[in-house]
């Protein structure tokens, strides 16, 4: 979907770039940039997809990184690091 199609689909659901931006704590220009492919953010792309009730891959089929699961962070990352260390020690 291009930026205008995303914008129209959001409006049909009663949402806007500004509303998504406010929910995520980012500026509306950030959401617009992601929709127009001038930037990349899986977090913003996922929020757009959730608002549209569509898979992110369907909205952004041209962005390969959105198709992959994110790597763990924080406590998840620590747990995965420990898991890897255990595997390597055996």
Domain of residue 30, CATH code = 1.10.260
Within 10 Å of residue 6's Cβ, how many Cβ atoms?
Answer: 24
Count CA atoms within 13 Å of residue 56 on its CB side. Answer: 19
pLDDT over 90 for what percent of the chain? 79
Residue 64: which domain range? 3-89
How many angstroms separate the CA atoms of 42 and 26, rounded? 13
Residues 13-37 have pLDDT tens digits of: 999 999 999 999 999 999 999 999 9
pLDDT of residue 69: 67
In the chain (90 residues long), the average pLDDT of successive 10-residue segments reads 97 97 96 96 95 95 82 83 91
Number of domains comprising the chain: 1
């Amino acid at each position: 979907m291009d930026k205008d199609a995303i914008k129209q689909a959001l409006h049909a659901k009663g949402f806007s770039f500004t509303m998504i931006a406010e929910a995520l704590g980012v500026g509306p220009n950030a959401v617009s940039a992601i929709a127009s492919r001038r930037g990349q953010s899986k977090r913003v792309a996922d929020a757009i997809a959730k608002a549209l009730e569509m898979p992110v891959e369907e909205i952004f089929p041209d962005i390969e990184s959105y198709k992959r699961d994110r790597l763990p962070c924080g406590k998840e990352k620590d747990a995965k690091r420990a898991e890897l260390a255990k595997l390597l020690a055996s």
